[in-house]
Amino acid sequence: MVVTLVAGLIGLRLVAQLVLNALNASEVRRHAAGPPPAVAAIMDAATYQRAVGYSLAKLAFDSIEETADAAVLAAVIFSGILPRLYAPFRGLAPEGAWNGALYLLAVGLLLGLVSLPFDWWGQFRLEERFGFNQGTVRLWVADKLKGLLLIAGLGFPLLWALLGLVRWTGDRWWLWGFALLFGFQLLLMVAYPRLILPLFNRLTPLPEGGLRERLLALADRTGFCARTIQVMDGSRRSAHSNAFFIGFGRFRRIVLYDTLVSQLAPAELEAVLAHEIGHYKRGHIPKMLAVSALLQAGGFALVAWLARSAWFNAAFGFPPGELAPAFLLFGLLSGLVTFWFLPVFNLVSRRHEYEADAFARDAVRGPGPMVDALRKLARKNLSNLTPHPVYSGFHYSHPTPVERERALTA
């Protein structure tokens, strides 16, 4: 019964993903010959045709990757390989917790190896073809190795502590487990810009001059006190651009991609920064943290219940009551359910984007700079400006540039 249900959910999600991709590809092709006026105002004909080609290539690649992901998930779930791998790890310390943590890391590593060819192809074939990739194979390998070391160095002790909570705290371990993980995430928000991000990217202060003074004046004017504005060398890997702030309180930092600084005029950069400040001033970060906390607490409670249930682990060949397999199965299978809630999450996220855009419009005294920035970034990133509405609901956490421009100028 359980196995049949899981097989049905895997197939149903894959069918939905492929149908969504097909709908979106059809919508892109439908507008390829003659884009709507709002789109024509953003992109010239040559750029629009490149954007169409980029969107269709990504959709085709996504369909292949999603099919492969579904096949791998079905194989590892139904072949019995996961419980066979668990047996020797369990034998290392039947009453311990570190062996379960080691098992989870080992399975995660093996599944990560399966995704490496797709990751490589996406960067060095797809992104390269459209002029976005600026990284090297050497840098790509170095990033993967650094990521692996970070997962081992941070993930192993965290998993060990989570699995050990059952012995230390009893049936209420999941409450302590949630507190431990959420506290770790808050700590990581402080440590990330200082200890982790510099392992992958170089951060340098924005040079003295008119741009820095303009952006700092905006921060003061909007009540966003940041210690520094830094530029990140995102161009080492990609021509795509972004801006964000990291940390909180006295540890807050504004970060601009160097590609963004080179692509936008000072007034446009000011509008983009005002948008990011808008997320902070409108309380989006604590709201999303609260939602994340509720979901994590619910997830831990569900894992605890599943681990206690005699039927759950046994349905997939694991010993009943073992926590490490319950964590693994929950991690592998939860996406089959959460996929269907993506439109709800994206709806909330898009509402936040509209609110941040409105804040930016007021902060820079008019919609012009933000509209210009959105148009320029859409051209530089070859954005899909005509997505199918249903596909957009499942995959777009941001409104399209056309939708954002319409809201800004309403």
Helices (H) and strands (E) in the chain, counts: 21, 4
Dihedral of the CA atoms 234, 239, 243, 246 (nearest 10)?
-30
Q: 283: which DSSP letter? A: T
Sheet harboring 203-205: ordered strands across? 203-205, 229-232, 253-257, 243-246
Structure tokens at 225: 């006190």
Contact 296, 181 (CB under 8 A): yes
Contact 204, 185 (CB under 8 A): no
d(CA 338, CA 109): 23
CB atoms < 10 A from the CB of 57, how many?
A: 15
Within 8 A by CB and 6+ apart from 57, the residues are 126, 129, 130
From the number of C-beta atoms within 10 Å of its C-beta (0-12, 13-18, 19+), residue 111 rates as: middle
> Catalytic: 276?
yes
62, 69, 127, 276: the active-site residue: 276
Structure tokens at 115: 């995704």
The closest of 391, 394, 400 to 23, measured between CA atoms, is 391
62, 127, 357, 405: the active-site residue: 357
Dihedral of the CA atoms 154, 160, 164, 165 (nearest 10)?
30
d(CA 66, CA 64): 6
> Catalytic: 357?
yes
Contact 107, 82 (CB under 8 A): yes
C-alpha torsion sign, points 375, 344, 73, 164: positive
Which DSSP string corresponds to 9-60? HHHHHHHHHHHHHHHHHHHHHHTTSS--HHHHTTS-HHHHHHHHHHHHHHHH
Instruction: Count the residues in the chain.
Output: 410
Q: Which residues are catalytic?
A: 276, 357
